[in-house]
Amino acid sequence: MQPIQTAMTWQGVEISISYKPRWIKSSSISHLEIHSLEPERAPLPVTETGYKSHFFHSDEIFSEMALKQMVEQWLDEAAQSPKWQAYASSQKNQQLMLF
């Protein structure tokens, strides 16, 4: 199992993704990091700061495509929360005020 470093765009935000399988060599604990790159430190549904470190059990070997799909699904699900919906709505209202 090799580490994966990749990037993706989610709702206009460029995100860096780093996946390290078997972060602790004697266990199945893997480590995932996501960073908002552009806009820098842009909030995401799973982090207000644009950075998220997440440990989880995984025996799967992720391909780059599977990793991106997993992160996208995580973000999409988290984006359904009332807190994120309120944030997204406030951002739309701010943009409309600029015109």
pLDDT at 47: 97
Q: If you average pLDDT over residues 51-56, what whole number do you get? A: 95
pLDDT at 89: 85
Q: How many structural domains are present in the chain?
A: 1
Higher pLDDT, 76 or 22: 76
29-38: strand order across its sheet = 4-10, 13-20, 29-38, 51-57
| Dihedral (CA of 60, 64, 69, 75) sign | positive
Domain of 54, in residue numbers: 4-97
Q: If you average pLDDT over residues 26-30, what whole number do you get? A: 85
pLDDT tens sequence across 75-84: 999 999 999 9
Calculate the CA 66 to chain-centre distance.
13
pLDDT at 8 over 60: yes
What pTM did the predictor assign? Answer: 0.85
For tokens 């409309």, name the residue.
96
pLDDT at 90 over 80: yes
- Closest to 42 measured CA to CA, from 51, 53, 52, 50: 50
Higher pLDDT, 96 or 23: 23
